[in-house]
Structure 1
Amino acid sequence: MKLRVAVLFGGKSTEHEISIISAIQAIRSINTDKYEVIPVYITKNNDFYVGESIDEIEEYTHIPELIKKSTQVIWVKDGDRVTLQRFNKKMFGNNVITEVDVAFPIVHGTNVEDGTLQGFLATLGLPVVGCDVLSSAVGMNKYVMKTVLKDNGIPVLDCKCYTWKDYEDVEALVAKIEKEFEYPVIIKPLNLGSSIGIKKANNREGLYEALDLGFEFSKKILVEPAITDLKEINCSVLGDYESAEASECEEPVNSDEILSFEDKYIGGAKGSAKGAKTGGSKGMASLKRKIPADITSEERDQVRKMAVDAFICLGCSGVSRIDFMMDTKTRKIYLNEINTIPGSLSFYLWEPLGMKYEHLLDNMIQLALKADRENHKVVYSFETNVLEGVKLGGGTKGSKM
């Protein structure tokens, strides 16, 4: 019997549309001789839908029409079984649409990639492909991520975190930043990806603009020095806390000083996501890039080792992409951020090493099953008589134990 894999995508995120592209790419490449794939679309209201057209990229140009001909579902845990059932139940007949054996979230951004969805799925007792709740949350929070990595000897740029409360007195905030940093600086939302809300400030006027943009997308922003002579290098990692391996390195070719959302997902992104099997695809796979990156063999080894070290340090699983920055004057390399569910799942970084997308996806699913087997060996409850004879006081007396 085939393993039933629910691929979840969409969600309440600024990267909703990119998630759709990434997921449908993957759905087209999963080995259907081995797995039964159940596409599950999450709307921007966090409603779940299944249907015959849910995995058709062309249908997402008219999402309201797609929703009308699809079926809204809820997740139901029944003992050891997890099923998708009709939200609007029929009075007669079976409301169970399918059982689910494994959840495979291919989602990007806040509210879905940050541990929120992973926690929900874990509560159901499902094996979940990719990072767990903690590593997802840490990976999404750029300040916490950098703090953990710095504490473990992985080089990152110094940074400061500021909140909406600081932004209430923007003049004082600008003065704080100018005291801490020299221009240019980078302002970025604390918990977003895809370069959304990121802006470089070369002077005070630019700083005001960058703060306005960053706080539009997040309650917290990160400020860090900008590397003037910058080369970006990305590397993917596959594995878990026990063992992980690095992909080939890439060097994105951006049209601006910062790799923008348009650079990543729009420029050159023509054609159908159905081409993912042959390598011609949309999403991050359409980005102009040099593979391998234009760096020395020693620098390549350094990047790949740092990527694996960071992946294991943060407790990641499945596939992540780690983005690095090189100061081309000093050749010093800094870890910029980790993407725990990268665009296109970074399949294009594994193909140069001979790993087909189908095999990458299979490895990710098998890692989720391994983690689930390990979780079943851990004791989470035990018999106790602690509740026997307990009496709770009322009113202002509180309780006694």
Structure 2
Amino acid sequence: MKQKIGVIFGGKSVEHEVSIITGLQVVENIDKSKYEAIPIYIDKDGNWYYGENLKDVKIFTLWEKNKKKAKQFFPSFDKKDGKNILNKIDALVIAMHGNYGEDGKLQGLLEFVDVPYTSSGVVGSGAGMDKIVMKSIFEGMDLPVLPYLWFNRDDWTKNQKELINKIHYTLNYPIFVKPANLGSSIGISMAKNEEELINAIEIAISYDKRILVERGVEKAVEVNCSALCKDGEILVSTMEEPVKWEKFLSFEDKYIKSNSKSKGGMSSMSRKIPAEISNEIKSHIEKYTKEIYRTMDCKGVVRIDYILDDDRTKVYVNEINTIPGSLSFYLWEPSGIKFADLIDILIKEAITTNKDKERNIVRYDSELLKKLGGAKGSKR
């Protein structure tokens, strides 16, 4: 009997459309001899739907008109709720990007309802979403990161001049300004002078209250590496070198200006696979990738992005994506792991990890309440 696998995508995120692409890629490429894929869609208002019609991308182009073609449900905690599709699946492939899907919120819900899922857990997802927390973890691991500052939206409103002076004193141009909790290059800008810096910060604070300001590298090279866990072993993928860093990748570069003949999504970007780097740099990246995956308690497939200086002799850890676009399938295919195989690995790991929780003691019976004797309002 085929296992029923939910594939969840969409969500209340500015990366909503990107998530739809990844979700439909999974539905299309899952091994249909083993699994029955059930698409689950969260619309931009947070409403949940499922149904066969969600396998067609055209339904989302006029969603308000077409949503009656899907079945709406509510993800309740009632295991006896026959309308809750989460009660009818064996595992869930998370193809969500950004807030409310990649940041630990959805993962927390799935932990409560005890549904196996393919992404990192609550802690790994939350830390991997917030670029400020993420950088702090990398520094704590003694990994090389570029100099940075961070502040809140209120700090900028109250102390703009002071923050600009601090940035000038600490960092050199070019400078990248990033919302702490977004991906897909949304809200990210590169500044080469004070005027551009102010404009970049104004853009970033419209997306998030926490802002990361980071020193850029002239003529930098970006190298990305994916990782996953198979049978208890952390594996790293072939590395890629996207377009040069001075051609900063905007949202449109990544997802819109693509070759229509390609598989779409992140797989359609211009890139070199494998990346043209020395064996020494490759070894560093492999080591860092495995360390980050283990330390952040990652699960499923992740992609970690690195920045190299112009002569390709120094590497910096940039960020982790705990649910990368297109699940980074294109980085695993050169290693002989096809997209269907990748999905299969993720599903098996999700089920195994969820079953492993049974080994944890989650209940402890004590005599505490009896000793209190039912006393009311006692405070100390």
For the criterion TM > 0.5, the same-fold answer is yes
Residue 269 of structure 2 corresponds to 287
Q: Secondary structure at the match of 2:280?
A: helix
Q: How many positions carry a matched residue from both structures? A: 378
Is the 2:230–2:345 contact (alpha carbons within 8 Å) kept by the matching residues of 1?
A: no
The counterpart of 1:172, out of the listed 162, 168, 181, is 162
Distance 1:242 1:150, change over 3 A: farther
CA deviation after TM superposition for structure 1 residue 330, in Å: 6.1
Contact in 2 for aligned 1:391/1:400 (Cα 8 Å) = no
Post-superposition shift, 1:74?
Answer: 1.6
Larger mean Cα displacement after TM superposition, 283-292 or 147-156: 147-156
1:169-218 deviation digits (Å, cap 9, x = unpaired)? 32222122122222221111111100111111111111111111111111
Question: Which residue identity does 1:354 align to in structure 2?
Answer: G
Report the equivalent of 2:110. Answer: 121
- What is the deviation of 1:304? 2.1
> Corresponding residue for 1:159?
148
Q: Is contact 1:143–1:190 with CA below 8 Å preserved after alignment?
A: yes
Match of 2:242 among 238, 243, 252: 252
C-alpha displacement at 1:254, in angstroms? 5.1
Q: CA RMSD in A?
A: 2.0
> Would the alpha carbon gap of residues 231 and 241 (structure 1) be closer, same or farther in structure 2, given more than 3 Å must change?
farther
Taking structure 1 as the reference length, what is the TM-score of the superposition?
Answer: 0.89
* Stretches of structure 1 lacking an aligned partner (at least 5 in a row): 87-95, 272-279
| Aligned counterpart for 2:99 among listed residues 101, 105, 110 | 110
| CA spacing shift, 1:32–1:98, aligned 2, 3 Å | farther
Report the CA distance between 1:387 and its aligned residue. Answer: 2.2
Identity %: 38
Counting only pairs closer than 5 Å after superposition, residues 1-400 of structure 1 correspond to structure 2 as: 1-78=1-78, 85=83, 99-169=88-158, 170-239=160-229, 242-253=232-243, 257-270=247-260, 280-329=262-311, 331-388=313-370, 389-391=372-374, 393=376, 398-400=377-379
CA distance in 1, matches of 2:281, 2:26: 31
* Cα deviation code 1:311-331 (max 9, x no counterpart): 112110110001000012362
- Larger proportion of helix: 2
Q: Secondary structure at the match of 2:164?
A: helix
Q: Is the 8 A contact 1:84 1:97 kept in 2?
A: no
Q: Shift in Å at residue 129 of structure 1?
A: 1.1
306-315 or 342-351: bigger deviation: 306-315
More strand by share: 1
How far did residue 141 of structure 1 move?
A: 0.9
**After alignment, is 192-201 or 252-261 more displaced?**
252-261
Please report how far the alpha carbon of residue 138 of structure 1 lies from its aligned counterpart in structure 2 after TM superposition.
Answer: 0.5
> Aligned partner of 2:173: which letter?
Y
Return the offset for 1:58. 2.0
Label 1:230 to 1:241 Cα distance change in 2 as closer, same or farther (>3 A): farther
Runs (4+) of structure 1 exceeding 3 A deviation are: 76-79, 254-257, 389-393
SS at match of 1:248: coil
Cα drift, residue 240 of structure 1: 7.2
- The residue type equivalent to 1:391 in the other structure is G
Letter in 2 for 1:376: E
Letter in 1 for 2:236: A
Equivalent position SS for 1:346:
helix
Contact 1:241–1:317, Cα closer than 8 Å, also in 2: no
Deviation at 1:5, TM superposition (A): 1.2
Whether the 8 Å contact between 2:219 and 2:244 is mirrored in structure 1 is no
Task: State the alpha-carbon separation in 2 of the partners of residues 25 and 243 from structure 1.
Answer: 26
Contact 1:254-1:260 within 8 A present in 2 as well: no
Please tell me whether the aligned partners of residues 175 and 213 of structure 2 are also in contact (alpha carbons under 8 angstroms).
yes
Would the alpha carbon gap of residues 290 and 233 (structure 1) be closer, same or farther in structure 2, given more than 3 Å must change? same
